[in-house]
Structure 1
Amino acid sequence: MNITEDELRARLQIWRAVGIGPATLNRLLNHFGSAVAALDGSDAELAKAGLKPDTLQNLRSVPIEATLADLEWLHRAQHRHILVPEDPRYPKLLRDLKAAPPILFVAGQPELLNEPQLAMVGSRTPTTYGKENAQAFAQYLAKHGITVTSGLALGIDAVSHQGALEAGGTTIAVIATGLDIIYPAKNRSLAERIVEHGAIVSEFPIGVKPQAQNFPRRNRIISGLSLGSLVVEAALQSGSLVTAQHALEQGREVFAIPGSIHSPLAHGCHRLIRQGAKLVETAADILEELTPQLHAYLGSTAMPTALALSTTQASKPIKPTKPLSFLKSLTTQENTEERSEAKLDPEEQQILATIGLEPIPIDQIVLQTGLTPDVVSSMLLMLELQGYIAACGGGRYQRL
């Protein structure tokens, strides 16, 4: 981790003091040179470094034993990590932010934090339309090498994580509690899967319980890790709009899926679009928009001929371990090959075979394929997002 254990203990101790955030801890490190020296400093020197009397009192009241919970969590099981900015595994996109967390607790694969990510956020009580969109977009992005990042909340967050996992991709959950607490508890099994196939991240020490003020703070990390944020469904007072605002302030892209003018859960997305967020109808729209950033992210202005990219030396930009297969289709004349029907799942091929240039109702597709209505609806949405078919209204679809 590129710092001594004593320095880590000292930073963990300071980080637990009420009233000390990223800016204050960084100011102490700059003033004293280390957290160990800051804790050994006199009250007068700490005040000179900018600590107010109540914050100074809070710092002095944190015993060194308080850090035992963090260190015991770290050493109790495999695949647990505590990252500081000096660690090469610390996410570069996050390190560059003014409010970058000085400590990150990670369960799972910390290497994923430096891979291309898209944040997906939305309502905790989404419509069926919203859930289907979140699942389809997450699956498509994951299949094309993008890690899906969200907040492990109920609703759109959970569906986005699940969609990425179902596609065999990776996903990152940023939570607003200590990593020993899964909130909501309903998502515990999902969290276990994320640790196996991704990572769970928090800036909060072990033992920190859910607190309302910590969730907006968590959202800046979700957006900060990602190249862009996609808002799937959001009411006007949704926390998802906080994530979008953080993304704008961080210079990230903001995407929004439009919905019905009569749906309250579309109003937040529509406001974002009016304010300049990019309206997206397909997941491919997002990938096209992010392509220039991904070129820079991969550390090359020229398109690589081979897209099986692997992690390089720490001194170079960290490259994704999964192929970004969509880049070739966006920058060559091989779009038709990339969209070959042979690349579709068997069920998708079966459904596509029943759809011609004349609109066909969904119940007829169900009848001809023998698949369940739920499966057909999900597959139709995926095919529409990938540009194979178009919805014609009245529950009918036609081939493009």
Structure 2
Amino acid sequence: MSVQNIALRLAISRLGFLKFSEKKLLEKKLDTISRLALLSIDDLSYIIGRVIHTKLWMPEHIERQAETDLKLMTTFHTDVLFYDDPFWPPLLNEIYDPPYALFYRGSAAILSAPCAAVVGTRRPTGRGMRSAKQLGFELAQAGFTVVSGLALGIDACAHAGAVGGGKTAAVLGSGADTVTPVSNKRLAEAILNSGGCIISEYAPGTGAEKWHFPQRNRIISALSLVTVIVEAPAGSGALITADFALEQNRELCFHSCALDYTEGPAVNLLRTKKQMRQVSNYIADGACVVSDARDVIAQLTAERSEKKETGLRL
């Protein structure tokens, strides 16, 4: 891929007000970043086929921003996968509005292995922390890439366990060069040193914003055959990930310790109280309960057998 083509794609990847299909269309219509920089908002609307209202379109800065992105990628040893790359995780193509690009540090090859997400609250109990670490270790030992969000609490424990057992991938709500919280930087280094990877759909230098995390959560579940929730209060980000897993037709499980988690509802501005489902609601709707990696693998095996019997694609 030429430098010009990479620059154009980097610029398009930053257009967060466009859908995945619109980014692909824009790329198809243009051949250089210079042509993109000449477009007015009306030109952009005409190409996309809908009227775009945004203050984020600043074509005068596009070429300089792409140059900055390339420099930051070199500085922080960050690479990028685009949607048509041979190493693009195939499961991402199955979801609504997938990411256009993934920036990563480490080995992106582990994303093509079977992945299992392990997520949960930032305020876990001691039992929850031990369970997440053990589950991460067991799933990694079984050959899964353990996917989580590198947040405090359950996420960090799942990553730490997986580092000891195999491979793990951390999906960030900031650029792949920016690890937050800072206290998890040592864990991030351990992930990379053990052959794992840190990924984000956000370009290098992008800070963590609240609205990035639901977007990040959809990638965590999309990459994974199964999502396991280990302790999560009502309305939490972990349960947003659970919702994404269901929407994406992925397997959803809850660790047995989630049934006893008694912390009050998390404050979540993205949902009203009426919309805040609790763990018990998911169990009542058919989500399975697991205690270890053997249970998770057994559930996946049963799900695959059922799909095979009904003629669905695995």
Does TM-score exceed 0.5, indicating one fold?
Answer: yes
Aligned residue number for residue 282 of structure 1: 292
Aligned residue number for residue 176 of structure 1: 173
Aligned residue number for residue 163 of structure 1: 161
**What is the number of equivalent residue pairs in this alignment?**
293
Aligned residue number for residue 232 of structure 2: 234
Matches of 1:124 and 1:70, distance apart in 2? 31
Matches of 1:40 and 1:185, distance apart in 2? 36
Equivalences for residues 1-400 of structure 1 within 5 A = 3-17=1-15, 19-29=17-27, 32=29, 36=33, 39=36, 43=40, 45-48=43-46, 49-50=48-49, 52-55=51-54, 58-76=57-75, 78=77, 80-167=78-165, 169-197=166-194, 198-259=196-257, 261=260, 263-264=262-263, 268-291=278-301
Matches of 1:293 and 1:208, distance apart in 2? 38
Matches of 1:59 and 1:95, distance apart in 2? 29
Task: Please list the CA deviations of residues 256-299 of structure 1 after superposition, one character each: whole Å capped at 9, or x if unmatched.
Answer: 0234557237983322211221111332111012236779xxxx
Answer whether contact 1:131 1:155 (CA < 8 A) is retained. yes
> Could you say if the C-alpha distance between residues 38 and 280 of structure 1 is closer, same or farther in structure 2, counting changes exceeding 3 Å?
farther
Secondary structure of the corresponding residue to residue 96 of structure 2: coil
* Residue 24 (structure 1) shift: 3.1
Matches of 1:196 and 1:237, distance apart in 2? 34
> Could you say if the C-alpha distance between residues 26 and 110 of structure 1 is closer, same or farther in structure 2, counting changes exceeding 3 Å?
same
Answer whether contact 2:132 2:158 (CA < 8 A) is retained. yes
Identity %: 34
Matches of 1:233 and 1:34, distance apart in 2? 48
> Could you say if the C-alpha distance between residues 117 and 18 of structure 1 is closer, same or farther in structure 2, counting changes exceeding 3 Å?
closer
Matches of 1:271 and 1:103, distance apart in 2? 34
Matches of 1:25 and 1:93, distance apart in 2? 19
> Could you say if the C-alpha distance between residues 29 and 262 of structure 1 is closer, same or farther in structure 2, counting changes exceeding 3 Å?
closer
Q: What letter matches 1:255 in structure 2? A: C
Deviation larger for 280-289 or 229-238: 280-289
Q: What letter matches 2:112 in structure 1? A: N
Secondary structure of the corresponding residue to residue 54 of structure 1: coil
Matches of 1:106 and 1:293, distance apart in 2? 31
Secondary structure of the corresponding residue to residue 219 of structure 1: helix
Segments of 5+ residues of structure 2 without an aligned counterpart are 266-276, 309-314
Task: Please list the CA deviations of residues 195-226 of structure 1 after superposition, one character each: whole Å capped at 9, or x if unmatched.
Answer: 22200000001111111000011000000110
* Residue 28 (structure 1) shift: 2.2
Task: Please list the CA deviations of residues 57-111 of structure 1 after superposition, one character each: whole Å capped at 9, or x if unmatched.
Answer: 7142433010123211333365x31100121111111123221111110100010
> Could you say if the C-alpha distance between residues 293 and 279 of structure 1 is closer, same or farther in structure 2, counting changes exceeding 3 Å?
closer
* Residue 14 (structure 1) shift: 2.6
Q: What letter matches 2:107 in structure 1? A: Q
Secondary structure of the corresponding residue to residue 63 of structure 1: helix
TM-score, length of structure 2 as denominator length? 0.84
Matches of 1:57 and 1:223, distance apart in 2? 28
Q: What letter matches 1:272 in structure 2? A: Y
Deviation larger for 224-233 or 48-57: 48-57
Answer whether contact 2:12 2:27 (CA < 8 A) is retained. no
Answer whether contact 2:76 2:177 (CA < 8 A) is retained. no
Answer whether contact 1:81 1:110 (CA < 8 A) is retained. no
Deviation larger for 259-268 or 152-161: 259-268
> Could you say if the C-alpha distance between residues 101 and 131 of structure 1 is closer, same or farther in structure 2, counting changes exceeding 3 Å?
same
Secondary structure of the corresponding residue to residue 205 of structure 1: coil
The structure with the larger Rg is 1
Matches of 2:174 and 2:12, distance apart in 1? 18
CA RMSD of aligned residues (A): 2.8
Q: What letter matches 1:26 in structure 2? A: K
TM-score, length of structure 1 as denominator length? 0.67
